Amino acid sequence: MAKVLLIAEHDGTSLNPSTAKCVACAAEISGAEIEVAVFAESAGAIAAQAASLDSVSRVLSNEATANRGALAAVLAPQIVAMADSYDYIFGPSTTFGKDLMPRVAALLGVNQISDIMSVEGERVFKRPIYAGSAVVTVEAPAGVPVVATIRTASFRAVGAGNSAPVDAVDVSADIPDHTRFIASETGKSDRPDLQSASRVVAGGRALGSEENFDLIYKLADKLEAGVGASRAAVDAGYVPNEMQVGQTGRIIAPDLYIAIGISGAIQHLTGIKDAGTIVAINKDEEAPIFEVADIGLVGDLFNVVPELTEALD
Amino acid sequence: MEKILVGLKRVVDYNVRVRVKGDGSGVETEGVKMSINPFDEIALEEALRIKERGEANEVVVVSIGSGEAQQQLRTGLAMGADRAILVETVATPDPLSCAHALLEIVKRENPELVILGKQAIDNDNAQTGQMLAALWGRPQGTFASKLEFNGGSVRVTREVDAGLDVIEVDLPAVITADLRLNEPRYVKLPDIMKAKKKPLDQIPLAELSVPDSPAIAETGFEPPAARERGIMVDDVAGLVGALNDKGLL
Ligand SMILES: Cc1cc2nc3c(=O)[nH]c(=O)nc-3n(C[C@H](O)[C@H](O)[C@H](O)COP(=O)(O)OP(=O)(O)OC[C@H]3O[C@@H](n4cnc5c(N)ncnc54)[C@H](O)[C@@H]3O)c2cc1C
Ligand SMILES: Nc1ncnc2c1ncn2[C@@H]1O[C@H](COP(=O)(O)O)[C@@H](O)[C@H]1O
């Protein structure tokens, strides 16, 4: 038997799509029995969403005021207190999971596997290293739990036709007070979420200003697409940090990705290598982005993008 | 604050196109340019700025690795660190062992703050800071893009997928640096000369009490699946046509 404890990601009100992708990964382990733990201030709606995910056998709901803000220092000891009966403890390879899971692993005295991209055996997985320039096969040691984060772009979310039981749990763990949640400053946007959008339009340094980025938004709106950016565009202040795609930003896998005025540095490409179709618009025909693009167009974005936006009417 | 400890890992320079060895036994690192992990440079820059503002007295850089990591420590000293410690070992250990080794250094040095990079760009693990904080029983402020000190605590602005989170942690604490925390300074030639005289202690890893941890075995390396080279279109009409052909519009 392979008992999996999966830590749900949420924003306090609803389940993050990353969780359904982690379930898909866990379900590839033969004989997996998947339980999802929801730590929240108020878990009801989130737990119900988790219970609807196919392949989930049980949801553990843990409500406490301290769980607000998902602080790793607060959640980790609670997870450790529950860990005993599990062979695998998984979280998503998002900033939530990356913050939390190593803390859990260290408290359990085990190493952690980051960014699982495929399941090759009971304890054998593949993961990317060097910004995706290489893939390494890793084997977790026997006799200790496998603690890992899952690269969500590598898995398709499971369906939501299930109704697994939800059990309230009460774990006794020492909750530290040395770490306090103050605030979340999250960008509000009516556009599709970058992480789960089926189409994404992204702009780079070439846009030149925050105002010019409007060209990207207009095209995105025509396509009902999410909007992304290169690090250079974020650093220059054209767009906020949550829009960065790449090694240190979001790792995404939309059906369609349109890179506009982005050169295609390896650190950027690692964020889009699982995209269905990559379109590149760049005025430099030698730009490395054309090496990975499915459809390339050499041209000045300030002419091409308005024309394309119009052509989609 | 009396002391800040900064971790510097020696890694393949971020500009190098890393290739997998023909026999799949690892990646090619022979003769390749090595540098300080970029996030660690940012960590050190932050520590130096805190010291220069008068909020800390000493900045100590530490690296766990082979003797060659002295190069990166010397660069750190040239940037402005006061002292360096090399925890010497043949092969760089896994993140849990690194965290244990760092904990041993923390016990000897008693820093109020440890700043590491958010991830090492070789293995892309993003684990060591969180593990050190766990073993030490202290707070962690990961993926930091802003630090504000206020007596015995620090407000950490963290870059998260949804935007920014702000948390407050009591000192001592572990911070991991994200890209936008600052822009590291360039090292000037006179500083490189001066750095040669700064103290660099060497401690064999075996002298520190680092428990054996069950290792994750790396059994094979391969290049990533290549994307097929696509088509080039001449104009917007061609692009719309190609997108239509793929059923994407
Ligand atoms: C540790 C580390 C982590 C990193 N993480 C990331 C990451 O997560 N994500 C990321 O994106 N980067 C990341 N980077 C940075 C990365 O190396 C590149 O510097 C960055 O991606 C470049 O952004 P860009 O393509 O927008 O800018 P540039 O490289 O400057 O490219 C601009 C492109 O626009 C084209 N152009 C200019 N004018 C026009 C025009 N009028 N019309 C059409 N095209 C035009 C140019 O030909 C060029 O190709 C990281 C770097 C490091 C060191
Ligand atoms: N061998 C090492 N020597 C010094 N610092 C290290 C070492 N390994 C990791 N670190 C620190 O921990 C951070 C995260 O590394 P990692 O968990 O390997 O991604 C790095 O940016 C460094 O600051």
Biggest CA-to-CA distance, chain A: 62
The predicted model gives A283-287 an average pLDDT of 97
Contact yes or no for B17 and A133 at CB 8 A? yes
d(CA A92, CA A6): 9
Q: Considering only CB atoms, which chain B residues are within 8 Å of A255?
A: 248
CA B105 to ligand 2 centroid distance, Å? 14
Nearest by CB to residue B220, choosing from A104, A114, A137, is A137
Q: Does some domain include residue A191?
A: no
Check whether residue A162 and residue A203 sit in a common domain.
no
Percent of chain A scored above 70 by pLDDT?
100
- What pLDDT was estimated at residue A190? 83
Determine contact, residues B37/B11, Cβ cutoff 8 Å: yes
Contact yes or no for A138 and B160 at CB 8 A? no
Contact yes or no for B227 and A278 at CB 8 A? yes
Domain that holds residue A209: 199-311
Q: Does some domain include residue A181?
A: no
Nearest CA owner, ligand 2 atom 23: B116
**Chain B: nearest CA to A5, how far in angstroms?**
20
Could you tell me if A180 lies within 8 Å of chain B, comparing CB atoms? yes
Contacts of B201 (CB under 8 A, 6+ apart): B83, B84, B85, B86
Percent of chain B scored above 90 by pLDDT?
92
Beta strands in chain B (DSSP E): 3-7, 10-12, 34-36, 58-65, 83-88, 113-117, 140-150, 153-160, 163-170, 173-177, 200-204, 217-222, 231-233
ipTM for this prediction = 0.96
Least confident of A49-58, A183-192, A218-227: A183-192
d(CA B203, CA A281): 53
Q: How would you classify the pairing of strands B173-177 and B140-150? A: parallel
The predicted model gives B184-209 an average pLDDT of 94
Taking only the tens place, the pLDDT of each residue in B177-193 is 999 999 999 999 899 99
Check whether residue A156 and residue A210 sit in a common domain.
no
Check whether residue A98 and residue A244 sit in a common domain.
no
Q: What is the CATH number of the domain that holds A121?
A: 3.40.50.620
**Chain A: nearest CA to B105, how far in angstroms?**
17
Nearest by CB to residue B130, choosing from A72, A195, A291, is A72
| Chain B interface mutation, best of A74, A111, A298, highest count of B Cβ atoms under 10 Å | A111
Q: Is B119 in the pocket of ligand 2 (CB under 6 A)?
A: yes
Looking at the structure of chain A, the number of domains it has is 2
Q: What is the CATH number of the domain that holds A254?
A: 3.40.50.1220
The alpha carbon of B89 is separated from its chain's Cα centroid by a whole number of angstroms, namely 18
Taking only the tens place, the pLDDT of each residue in B25-35 is 999 988 999 99
Check whether residue A148 and residue A204 sit in a common domain.
no
Residues within 8 A of A (CB atoms), B 28-87 only: none
- What pLDDT was estimated at residue A172? 86
Nearest CA owner, ligand 1 atom 15: A231
Determine contact, residues B172/B114, Cβ cutoff 8 Å: yes
- What pLDDT was estimated at residue A313? 82
Q: What is the DSSP letter of A286?
A: T
Could you tell me if A183 lies within 8 Å of chain B, comparing CB atoms? yes
Domain end marker among A148, A168, A188: A168
Q: Does some domain include residue A186?
A: no
Residue A155 has pLDDT above 90, yes or no: yes
Is the peptide bond between A128 and the residue preceding it cis, with omega within 30 degrees of 0?
no
Check whether residue A42 and residue A117 sit in a common domain.
yes
Picking from B134, B92, B114, the residue whose alpha carbon sits closest to that of residue A103 is B134
Check whether residue A123 and residue A203 sit in a common domain.
no
Contact yes or no for B170 and A307 at CB 8 A? no
CATH number listed for the domain at residues B3-245: 3.40.50.620
Check whether residue A158 and residue A262 sit in a common domain.
no
The predicted model gives A198-205 an average pLDDT of 98
Could you tell me if A186 lies within 8 Å of chain B, comparing CB atoms? yes
Q: Does some domain include residue A194?
A: no
Check whether residue A29 and residue A118 sit in a common domain.
yes
- What pLDDT was estimated at residue A188? 73
Instruction: Choose one of A93, A95, A263, A291 to mutate for the ligand 1 pocket test, by most ligand atoms within 8 angstroms of C-beta.
Output: A263
Contact yes or no for A106 and B167 at CB 8 A? no
Check whether residue A95 and residue A25 sit in a common domain.
yes
Determine contact, residues B116/B41, Cβ cutoff 8 Å: no
Domain end marker among A118, A145, A168: A168
Residue A2 corresponds to which tokens in the numbers above? 């392979």
Pick the residue from chain A with its C-alpha nearest to B242: A295
Q: Is A244 in the pocket of ligand 1 (CB under 6 A)?
A: yes
- What pLDDT was estimated at residue B226? 85
Check whether residue A256 and residue A142 sit in a common domain.
no
Q: Does some domain include residue A279?
A: yes
Residue with tokens 């684990």: B127
Check whether residue A302 and residue A257 sit in a common domain.
yes
Taking only the tens place, the pLDDT of each residue in B35-94 is 999 999 999 999 999 999 999 999 999 999 999 999 999 999 999 999 999 999 998 899
Confidence of residue B239 (pLDDT cuts 50, 70, 90): very high
Chain A to chain B Cβ contacts (< 8 Å): 251
Check whether residue A104 and residue A249 sit in a common domain.
no
Q: Does some domain include residue A258?
A: yes
